[in-house]
């Protein structure tokens, strides 16, 4: 994903520094060329050798060290970096950067940087709340840098409050967005995910094995492309994608209400949820006791959310998913036409463990309104999400 991208990490002296190698390792795993600049204080917390081992590149600590190539190295690094991420960003470096002070390698790089700059503040709550720190953060945002809001939690002082170093997944998501194509910037994307549950009584329900993994991957990918993303999710144990607004629902009726409400003004709606097609006609208020003999269960249809979206489609791009046990392309094509979709992703279920519900990979065939059919190879679901969003971007450009 990040092949050909250069990330320069600026590390400062703070107790959260021990968490930074995990972030840099993940950036490197995604293909980025990662370099590290450490302040003198940072070297008191973590050895430069740690970062050299994680990144595979020399670590820079001294502004006056002899350059390895015949260039002004802090300028060369700043010009080459697609992203500079300062983590943890202390009150000291925020003040220096806001004031334009350049008295060490990192502060000089920040003045020379031409790519995106991301600051990840981490400090005690009282320091973070100080008017000078808040002024400096506001000024850096005015300069065009992105400054993350820290997490709230237990701090090194033992106190609880804002200032805690964010989780690695959250920082990584911000890095991926800043390094991403930005081709959905200014667009609202609504994604549905997971199963719905239709209760027979307080403890029993009709549902399916969907985990929501495909929909969550689509939401994360849309956000990586800088979209404003709303994820409407049925019951699932997956953690919410960072920087994505999540609306939790349980039943098909609740999902309908949430999706239709969010679809107003949306540029793209992707229905990846496995919505139950039927619900019990009656729901018992108490647990139905087991008795001798059989039990008859009368079912009624649930709302067809995708069809309703298709009837009032407007100019938005509408994408559906079709989980099929047979006649994959024929059934998907019929659904594409009947529900007025722009694109449908059809995948077989119940045939192989490497695709469909609960799998981390998927076998998908994409059918478009123009009649094209593209059979994708076995892919991780985040790769499927990238392919689907590539098609969505093209559809938006053609509209």
Residues with a catalytic annotation lie at 208
What 3-state class would DSSP assign to 51? helix
When computed from its CA atoms, the radius of gyration of the chain, rounded to whole angstroms, is 25
Which residues does 115 contact at the CB level (< 8 Å), separation at least 6?
Answer: 81, 82, 83, 84
Q: Give the separation between CA 63 and CA 346, rounded to whole angstroms.
A: 56
Residue holding tokens 């490197």? 28
H-assigned helices in 8-124: 20-29, 48-55, 73-80, 91-99, 105-112
Asked if 294 and 273 count as a contact pair (C-beta separation under 8 A), the reply is no
Q: Give the separation between CA 253 and CA 279, rounded to whole angstroms.
A: 10
Asked if 184 and 263 count as a contact pair (C-beta separation under 8 A), the reply is no
Q: How many C-beta atoms surround the C-beta of residue 209 within 10 A? A: 11
The torsion of the CA quartet 276, 282, 287, 289, rounded to 10 degrees, works out to: -110
Kindly give the interhelix angle for 91-99 and 105-112, rounded to the nearest 10 degrees. Answer: 50
Asked if 343 and 353 count as a contact pair (C-beta separation under 8 A), the reply is no
Which residues does 94 contact at the CB level (< 8 Å), separation at least 6?
Answer: 119, 121, 133, 136, 137, 140, 147
Which residues does 270 contact at the CB level (< 8 Å), separation at least 6?
Answer: 189, 190, 191, 192, 215, 218, 222, 319, 321, 388, 392
Q: How many C-beta atoms surround the C-beta of residue 326 within 10 A? A: 9
């Amino acid at each position: 994903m990040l092949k050909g991208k250069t990330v320069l990490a600026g590390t400062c002296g703070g107790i959260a520094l021990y968490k930074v190698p995990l972030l840099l390792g993940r950036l490197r795993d995604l293909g980025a060329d990662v370099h590290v600049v450490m302040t003198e204080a940072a070297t008191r917390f973590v050895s430069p050798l740690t970062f050299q081992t994680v990144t595979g590149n020399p670590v820079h600590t001294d502004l006056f060290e002899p350059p390895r190539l015949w260039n002004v190295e802090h300028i060369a690094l700043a010009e080459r970096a697609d992203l500079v991420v300062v983590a943890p960003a202390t009150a000291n470096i925020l003040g220096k950067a806001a004031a334009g002070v350049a008295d060490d390698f990192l502060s000089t790089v920040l003045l020379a940087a031409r790519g995106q700059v991301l600051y990840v503040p981490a400090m005690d709550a009282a320091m973070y709340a100080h008017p000078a720190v808040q002024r400096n953060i506001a000024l850096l945002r005015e300069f065009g840098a992105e400054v993350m809001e820290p997490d709230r939690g237990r701090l090194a002082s033992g106190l609880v409050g804002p200032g805690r170093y964010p989780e690695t997944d959250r920082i990584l998501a911000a890095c991926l967005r800043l390094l991403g194509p930005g081709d959905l910037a200014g667009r609202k994307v609504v994604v549905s995910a997971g199963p719905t549950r239709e209760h027979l009584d307080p403890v029993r329900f009709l549902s399916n094995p969907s985990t929501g993994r495909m929909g969550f991957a689509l939401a994360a990918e849309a956000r990586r492309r800088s979209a404003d993303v709303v994820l409407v999710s049925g019951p699932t144990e997956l953690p919410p994608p960072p920087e994505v607004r999540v609306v939790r629902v349980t039943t098909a009726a609740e999902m309908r209400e949430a999706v239709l409400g969010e679809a107003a003004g949306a540029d793209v709606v992707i229905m990846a949820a496995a919505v139950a097609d039927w619900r019990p006609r009656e729901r018992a208020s108490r647990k139905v006791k087991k008795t001798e003999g059989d039990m008859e269960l009368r079912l009624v249809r649930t709302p067809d959310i995708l069809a309703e979206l298709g009837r009032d489609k407007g100019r938005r791009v509408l994408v559906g998913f079709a989980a099929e046990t047979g006649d994959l392309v024929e059934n998907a094509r019929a659904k594409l036409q009947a529900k007025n979709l722009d694109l449908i992703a059809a995948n077989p279920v119940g045939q192989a463990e490497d695709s469909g519900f609960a799998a981390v990979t998927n076998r998908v065939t994409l059918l478009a309104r123009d009649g094209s059919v593209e059979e994708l190879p076995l892919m991780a679901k985040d790769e499927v999400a990238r392919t689907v969003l590539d098609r969505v971007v093209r559809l938006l450009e053609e509209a």
